[in-house]
Amino acid sequence: MKLLENKVALITGAGRGIGKAIAMRFAQEGCKIAFTDIALNDVVLETEKELKALGVEVKAYASNAANFTETQQVVDEIVKDFGRIDILVNNAGITKDTALKRMTEEQWDAVINVNLKSVFNFTKAVQPVMWKQAGGSVINMSSVVGVSGNANQCNYSASKAGIIGFTKSAAKEMGVRNIRHNAIAPGFIITAMTDALPEDVRKAWENLIPLRRGGTPEDVANVALFLASDLSSYVTGQVIHCCGGMNC
C-alpha cells in the first residue's frame, strides 16, 4: 500500500520548482493531484503531462492564489472534479528582494499578498471540506528567514514569519476535527533561481551549512510527504526545518 493511496492533494504554485517536486513525490505514492499556477503555460502543462505519466489522476488549474474570490472558485471546481481534498500544500510564493530603505509599497504588498494572503485564501476555502471529512493535512511553505530574518528581505521574511503564526493558530483551532497544520522551513534550496547565482556566492552559502551542500526540491518534497501521510498523524502545529543544519 502506497503512503498516499486514494488521497487527493491540492498544491499551489506547483508548475515548477519545489511545488512540482512535491507533486511528483506525492504522485509516486499514489496520490491524486490537483495543482494550481498563475497561468496554464507550456511549463505547467508539461508538469501535468509528467504527473499523468505516473498513473494517477491529475489536473492543472489556472488561479491567482492571492485573489480570494478566484481561490474559492478553484477549490469548488477541484471538489467537483475530485470529490474531496485530503491534503493542501500552500506553496505559491514570490520574492521582491531589496533593502528596506528602497522597498516600495508595491513590493511589500505583492509579496505579502502572494505569500501570506494566499495561505489564508486556500486554507479558508478548503476548511469546510476537511471539516466535513473530519480529517486533513495542511502543509504551509515557510522559510528559515521567517524564523531568523534576512537582510534585504523584510517583505519576504515577514510573509514567511506570518505563515508560521497562522499555522500554529490554525492547528489549535482545527485539531478537534483531526485537521493538522504544519509548516516547512526550507533553507538554501538549489532551484533555477539559485542556479543563476555566481559560483562564489553559492559556495559561500554552502560553507555556512553544516551538511556542506544546498538542498534539493526533492529534499523538501520528502518532508512534505511525511507531513501529508499518516506517518505524521500525531504531528500538528510544528515547523520542520529542511536546511541542512544552517538554522540549528
Instruction: Flag whether pLDDT at 195 surpasses 80.
Output: no
Does the pTM of the predicted model rise above 0.75?
yes
Which range, of 111-115, 149-153, 159-163, averages the lowest pLDDT?
Answer: 149-153
Instruction: Name the residue with higher pLDDT: 198 or 88.
Output: 88
Averaged over 185-189, what is the pLDDT? 95
- Whether 234 is a known active-site residue: answer no
User: Domain 8-239: which CATH class?
Assistant: alpha beta
Computed over every residue of the chain, the mean pLDDT equals 96
Averaged over 222-247, what is the pLDDT? 97
Instruction: Write out pLDDT tens, residues 57-74.
Output: 999 999 999 999 999 999
Look at residue 194 in the predicted model and tell me its pLDDT: 73
Instruction: Flag whether pLDDT at 248 surpasses 80.
Output: no
Mark 51-90 as b/e (b = at least 16 C-beta within 10 Å). Answer: beebebebbbbebbbbebebbeebbeebbeebebbbbbbb
User: Domain locations in the chain?
Assistant: 8-239
Instruction: Name the residue with higher pLDDT: 152 or 193.
Output: 152
Averaged over 224-228, what is the pLDDT? 98
Q: What percent of the chain shows pLDDT beyond 90?
A: 91
Q: Please identify which of the residues 156, 180, 189, 214 carries the catalytic annotation.
A: 156
Percent composition of the chain: helix, strand, coil (DSSP 3-state, to 5): 50, 15, 35
